[in-house]
Chain A
Amino acid sequence: MSDFDFSVPRRQSFNGVFLIFLADLVKRIRQNIYLLAVPFFKQNLMQDYGLYIYLGLALLLVIQFVYSYLSYLKFQFSIQEDAFHLDHGVIKLSHVEIPFERIQNINLQQNILQQVFNVVGFEIETAGEGTAEIKIKALENNFAKALKNKLIEEKKRAKNEDVNESQDSETKATTSDEVSEHAESEEKSLLFQLSFSRLLKVGVSSNFLKGLGLLFAFFAYVYNFIMDFLSNIYDIDFDEDFKNRIPETLSFVVIMIFGLFILGFLITILMTILKYFNLKIVKNQQNYEVDYGLFKRVNKVIKKSKTQIFEIETNPLKKFFKINNIYVSQAASNQVTEKQKIGLVGVSTDNINTLFNSIYDLKLPEQKFDRLQSQPRLIFRYLYRNLILLAVLGGLAYIFYFNWLSVSTIVFIAIVLAYVIQLKVKKSYIGFNQDLICVGGGSIHTNTKFIEIHKLQSVHLKRNIFQQNNNHADLVLETASGTVTIEYLKVKSANDIFNYLIYKIESTDKDWI
């Protein structure tokens, strides 16, 4: 399969020159965006110095191209006996070596530019500090795939040698892993492919408040930008003018709000479709490979040992459609953000069970958890937080627009908030058994996080001054992909579960990665 000789140092695909150039150019422009404001401060700039400015810009462009070309020339990589080697840098040369056994993940992805130039991005993730990562911007598709396979092969070989050399030492989990890996090797089966109609269902059942928030942010940005721009030029206070013209009719406001909701809804659907287009989950030996995205195609690997949190999300609409979302968090050197979680959306309950089984070697339906519920007093904590919001809204309404409409709107918001809070408290719990913890959360939606007990890093018990008096405690679990908090447990049971978790972590010989 490998008709490529990887030991010879090579460069990226030639199309890469342009890709690197464009990427660098975008970076430069972004760094110097504030220069665009200069013409506004100085009038007649273009008439006076236009020629020089264009010449200067052209010169900068040429220099940037030469620089990008040089960095393309200097960027060379090869596979030697023991490691992946990479040379790069134009002025400061650097040499990176990644031993095969330190390679954790190899990701291929294609953003829209890379699709235009018909190349793929190649990313090597390593264990440990997040800094030692390698990103190759442009490789030809089949070469990238061959390189990936080669590296995986080498990695496996390195691991085997390791095991052979140290046969007398404990070869516990790794050997059994190895054996099963060999037995199953060559096996690459498609577990799940998201059809378009299903994707549409995922979009429809997504939380469209996210899209709404995005919309508001976008409008606020555009509004500010245009106002700044216009008032700079015409020296008019548009703000006042604009406000005076808002028709204070009920129908206008209602239509506005209604329209915004519809738009937010549509945007959410669109975003979901763009992000998760043609989601594919492929089982590759012990691991799962996940591909998704329309413009930016993402390829990620879910590794059994690296998986820290397995999260299932559902809501009433999703239940109706019989779909679920799974979010997998892998070990990272900092808190895993929502974006970094690997999302497997629109999967069926059977898919969940299969995935769960192969990640944890346990059957999900057979898991019985002892549950500890968050205490009702948690309601007050959420109430206090939302009280501030309501107070602000109320204050605004009182000052600007005090009539039956604003009052009833605020009452309506208060009722919705109270309902959501009550749901939130009801859905918050921690469950545990011999192997796993499950943490419940959510309001209208429901999410359930599963964590293997031996993957916990440390456990905290937190009690603020009120909780110290009324005998409640927050339980904080630290994992290698972030913190999970369960609020307002009874202090006695929080203590008990604390002791139990610590005991379990300390009595296991399983590692967290």
Chain B
Amino acid sequence: MVFENIELPITDLPDFKTVNLNGVEKSYKKIIWINTALIFLLLFAAPIVFLILDFLPIWIPITVLTIVSVIFTFQAIEIEKGFPRKKFGIRQHDIIYQNGYFYFKEIVVPFNRIQHVEVKQGPLSRIFKLYALKLYTAGASSGDLVINGLSKDNAQKLKSKVLAKTSDIDE
């Protein structure tokens, strides 16, 4: 059977699924919606303008509109269904983050592999007083972890916790 080679029984290992996770701030959903709306406004505007001006054969803008609408529907489902899944949690030795509806992703980054930590704030999140925590690991950027939509308190707390743990291990 699987796991017969291991020095300790698998059931004794801490399971990351059992950790209580915290959701990100509710107002972050507004930011996502604003960003999405801005992009799709442009995407919808272009074919509609062409439809009115009548430059191109009519089926081209209609097809584009249909495709954009389908993508928009999926995006809307992703935001609405996916938002409650954006959750993070902290354990003694690592940080856990999960997100995504169509692609559900769960990430665990051990503190002893974190290179450095950044707290960031974009222009939109400044209005909503939200922060993003960026955790860098060595190697490809796909291994980095970004947690968006944190309150200032949470962001600072997480950052100091991560820093304390990483330097702890360094010494």
Asked if B161 is at the interface of the complex by the 8 Å CB criterion, the answer is no
Shortest Cβ distance from B77 into A: residue: A465
Asked if B10 is at the interface of the complex by the 8 Å CB criterion, the answer is yes
Q: Give the interface centre of A459, A483, A493 by most chain B CB atoms within 10 Å.
A: A459
Asked if A71 is at the interface of the complex by the 8 Å CB criterion, the answer is no
Whether the Cβ atoms of B2 and A372 lie closer than 8 Å is yes
**B-chain residues with CB within 8 Å of residue A482 when the two chains form the complex:** 139-140
A462 to B97: give the CA distance in the assembly, Å: 12
Whether the Cβ atoms of A334 and B140 lie closer than 8 Å is yes
Asked if B39 is at the interface of the complex by the 8 Å CB criterion, the answer is no
Asked if A331 is at the interface of the complex by the 8 Å CB criterion, the answer is yes
Asked if B109 is at the interface of the complex by the 8 Å CB criterion, the answer is yes
**B-chain residues with CB within 8 Å of residue A308 when the two chains form the complex:** 139
Whether the Cβ atoms of B13 and A483 lie closer than 8 Å is no
Contact with B along A463-503 (1 / 0, CB 8 A): 11100100000000011111100000000010110111011
Chain B min CB distance to A142 (Å): 37
Whether the Cβ atoms of B138 and A458 lie closer than 8 Å is no
Given that A371-B2, A483-B142, A512-B138 are known contacts, is A460 also in contact with B105, CB under 8 Å in the complex? yes
Chain B contacts with A in 88-138, Cβ cutoff 8 A: 93-94, 101-113, 137-138
Whether the Cβ atoms of B5 and A368 lie closer than 8 Å is yes
Could you say which of A371, A459, A462, A478 contacts B140, with CB atoms under 8 Å apart? Answer: A478
Chain B min CB distance to A172 (Å): 13
Chain A min CB distance to B170 (Å): 10
**A-chain residues with CB within 8 Å of residue B141 when the two chains form the complex:** 334
Contact with A along B1-32 (1 / 0, CB 8 A): 01111110010011111000000000000000
Chain B min CB distance to A3 (Å): 40
Whether the Cβ atoms of B108 and A458 lie closer than 8 Å is yes
A423 to B140: give the CA distance in the assembly, Å: 29
Asked if A370 is at the interface of the complex by the 8 Å CB criterion, the answer is yes
Whether the Cβ atoms of A460 and B107 lie closer than 8 Å is yes
Whether the Cβ atoms of A465 and B101 lie closer than 8 Å is yes
Chain B min CB distance to A378 (Å): 17
Whether the Cβ atoms of B113 and A512 lie closer than 8 Å is yes
Asked if B145 is at the interface of the complex by the 8 Å CB criterion, the answer is yes
Whether the Cβ atoms of A331 and B14 lie closer than 8 Å is no
Contact with B along A79-92 (1 / 0, CB 8 A): 00000000000000
Whether the Cβ atoms of A498 and B16 lie closer than 8 Å is yes
Chain B min CB distance to A318 (Å): 29
Shortest Cβ distance from A466 into B: residue: B102
Given that A461-B106, A512-B113 are known contacts, is A500 also in contact with B10, CB under 8 Å in the complex? yes
Whether the Cβ atoms of B3 and A496 lie closer than 8 Å is yes
Shortest Cβ distance from B105 into A: residue: A462
Asked if A266 is at the interface of the complex by the 8 Å CB criterion, the answer is no
Whether the Cβ atoms of B142 and A463 lie closer than 8 Å is no
Could you say which of B5, B109, B112, B137 contacts A370, with CB atoms under 8 Å apart? Answer: B5
Whether the Cβ atoms of A335 and B140 lie closer than 8 Å is yes
A493 to B3: give the CA distance in the assembly, Å: 10
Whether the Cβ atoms of B140 and A370 lie closer than 8 Å is no
Whether the Cβ atoms of A458 and B5 lie closer than 8 Å is no
**A-chain residues with CB within 8 Å of residue B17 when the two chains form the complex:** 495
A495 to B11: give the CA distance in the assembly, Å: 11
Shortest Cβ distance from B104 into A: residue: A463
Asked if A332 is at the interface of the complex by the 8 Å CB criterion, the answer is yes
**A-chain residues with CB within 8 Å of residue B10 when the two chains form the complex:** 496, 499-500
Asked if A160 is at the interface of the complex by the 8 Å CB criterion, the answer is no
A461 to B104: give the CA distance in the assembly, Å: 8
Shortest Cβ distance from A477 into B: residue: B143
Whether the Cβ atoms of B139 and A493 lie closer than 8 Å is no
Whether the Cβ atoms of B13 and A499 lie closer than 8 Å is yes
Asked if A333 is at the interface of the complex by the 8 Å CB criterion, the answer is yes
Give the 5 A-B residue pairs with the shortest CB-CB distance, closest first: A478-B143, A480-B139, A506-B93, A457-B137, A458-B109
- A to B CB contacts below 8 Å, 10 in the list: A332-B139, A333-B139, A459-B107, A460-B106, A462-B106, A463-B103, A465-B101, A496-B2, A499-B15, A505-B113
Chain A residues within CB distance 8 Å of chain B: 308, 331-335, 368-372, 433-434, 456-465, 468, 478-483, 493, 495-496, 498-500, 502-503, 505-506, 512-513
Besides A456-B113, A502-B110, 17 new A-B residue pairs in contact (Cβ under 8 A), listed by A number: A308-B139, A331-B139, A371-B2, A433-B5, A458-B109, A458-B145, A463-B105, A465-B102, A468-B104, A478-B137, A481-B140, A483-B140, A498-B108, A500-B13, A505-B112, A505-B113, A513-B138
Chain B residues within CB distance 8 Å of chain A: 2-7, 10, 13-17, 93-94, 101-113, 137-143, 145
